[in-house]
Chain A
Amino acid sequence: MPGVKAATERSDVVVEIGGLPIRLRSGNPDFLRLIEERYAGYVSTSDHASFEFDVELAPPDTESGDEDLQVTWNSGRWLMERGDFRAVFDPATARGRIEQTINPFSLDSVLRIVHTLLLSKKGGFLVHASSAIRNGRAFLFSGVSGAGKTTMARLAPPDAALLTDEISYVIPQDGRYLAVGTPFFGELARVGENLRAPIEAVYLLAKGPENKIEPIEGADAVRGLMGNILFFAKDPEFVKLVFDAAFDFASRVPIRRLMFTPDARVWELIV
């Protein structure tokens, strides 16, 4: 006998980046669709989530301008505030709440911060770097805005799998460090491939008249890396965790300076 099955309206989406599934709940189906589109490739097919956030959508005209980001630890909770969002995250319960307008950028910022906080406990970090996997090994290209992160991503050869052109995701595993794909993109406006691989080297980018690689040692290597790691929270424990992670990383992974001219030949050096 033919039956009629009512379509069940979804009330959440699980976004999994770096092996951390985060459930995002909202009563607004348009927003959930927006999340699914924005994080395509990172939306989990499993219902399991390690962390949960309720997203409360505010009217579009309630944003309060260009307020600086503040991330503070208060009474056992992380508070994250900027002009366009306010979020609370309680690590003890693995639950949080986000108040924002219906746009993908605020949520993207909150996710970057939450992953930064969670990664610090695991000895990992997020770093301003594009990254790609080639021949089973990951390469990071790090630098400030305008240094060439997106350019290196655009110039990548067809056999390279792009993980991100903006924010690289670094996690320790079995005595080495892995780069993990993220949906956090920059000018390329394209999510990275959801892959992971051991990091072969980090290249600190510098534009110049020729393509050249120079090793960087000791304090210079740590300084170069630290300058590009994301430090959202100014909490002493958090800073110490990320600081220690950066030192450990620099002792295990070669950090080099890559001077390059913006053409595809630079990738001949990345092997």
Chain B
Amino acid sequence: MSNKRYVARSTAIAARALGDETMVMSATNSTLFTLDQVATVIWEAVDGMTPLDEIVANKVCTQFDVSQEVALQDAEDVVAELAEHGLVTISDQPIAQTNVQGAAQTKGTSA
């Protein structure tokens, strides 16, 4: 069994880079998240097909002074939190983008 982890962004989000940060809004509950510089690198690299450890080795460790072990743990924490809010999907198999969806309809706020 593969211990690789694949991460894909949800389609039910809106995202924009602003300087070194990225702002991501969940379309399911309109919650706004701000990703710092490292999280932004991970966010931009996750494509559902590249394993997370490769992203960390090739994108994070090459740009930031951090060991692979520490960076990978941090990356796993980041994607776990993003997944908790429905912003990404995590799988031990490559993820086709067409399989990534997000709930679109929930209760709103008062008018």
Q: How many A-B residue contacts, CB cutoff 8 Å? A: 82
Contacts of B30 in A (CB 8 A): 231, 234, 239
List residues 205-256 of chain A with CB under 8 A from any CB of chain B. 218-219, 222-223, 226-227, 230-236, 238-240, 243-244, 247
CB distance from A232 to the nearest CB of B (A): 5
Q: What band does the interface of chain A fall in when counting residues whose beta carbon is under 8 Å from B?
A: 20 to 34
- What sequence of 0s and 1s flags, for each residue 78-91 of chain B, a beta carbon within 8 Å of any chain A beta carbon? 00000000000000
- In the bound complex, do residue B14 and residue A113 qualify as a contact, i.e. CB atoms below 8 Å apart? no
Stretch in A47-55, A63-71, A135-143 with 4+ CB within 8 Å of B = A63-71
Residue in B106, B109, B111 with the greatest tally of chain A CB atoms within 10 Å: B111
- In the bound complex, do residue A73 and residue B104 qualify as a contact, i.e. CB atoms below 8 Å apart? yes
User: Number of contacting residues on B, CB 8 A?
Assistant: 26
Q: Which of B12, B14, B108 touches A232 (beta carbons < 8 Å)?
A: B108
A97 proximal to B (CB < 8 A): no
A250, closest chain B residue (CB): B18
- In the bound complex, do residue A227 and residue B32 qualify as a contact, i.e. CB atoms below 8 Å apart? yes
B34, closest chain A residue (CB): A219
Q: Which of A108, A223, A231, A240 touches B108 (beta carbons < 8 Å)?
A: A231
B23 proximal to A (CB < 8 A): yes
A72 proximal to B (CB < 8 A): yes
Contacts of A219 in B (CB 8 A): 18-19, 21, 23, 34
B110 proximal to A (CB < 8 A): yes
A-B contact pairs, 17 of them (CB 8 A): A70-B105, A71-B108, A108-B111, A112-B111, A218-B18, A218-B21, A219-B18, A219-B21, A227-B32, A234-B28, A234-B29, A234-B104, A234-B105, A234-B108, A235-B27, A236-B13, A239-B25
